[in-house]
Amino acid sequence: MGEYLPAMKVSDLAEGSISTVDLKGLHVLLSRIGGEVFAVSGTCTHEEADLGRGFVVEDRIVCPLHLSQFELKTGEVVNPPATVPLRRFNVKVLGDTIFIEV
Ligand code: FES
Query: What does the radius of gyration of the chain's CA atoms come to, in whole angstroms?
Result: 13
The CB-side HSE value for 87 (13 A sphere, CA atoms) comes to 11
Categorize the per-residue pLDDT at 68 as very low, low, confident or very high, splitting at 50, 70 and 90: very high
Cα 9 → chain centroid:
15
83 CA → ligand 1 middle, Å: 10
pLDDT digits (tens, 9 = 90+) for 33-58: 999 999 999 999 999 999 999 999 99
Query: At residue 37, what is the residue type?
Result: V
Whole-angstrom distance, CA of residue 28 vs CA of residue 96:
18
Query: The domain containing residue 85 runs over which residues?
Result: 4-101
CATH number reported for the structural domain that contains residue 40 in this entry? 2.102.10.10
Strand arrangement, sheet containing 97-101:
4-9, 97-101, 91-94
Q: Which atom of ligand 1 is least distant from the CA of 49?
A: 1
The reported pLDDT for the residue numbered 1 is 77
Domain count, the chain: 1
Whole-angstrom distance, CA of residue 30 vs CA of residue 62:
14
Q: By alpha-carbon position, which residue is closest to atom 3 of ligand 1?
A: 66
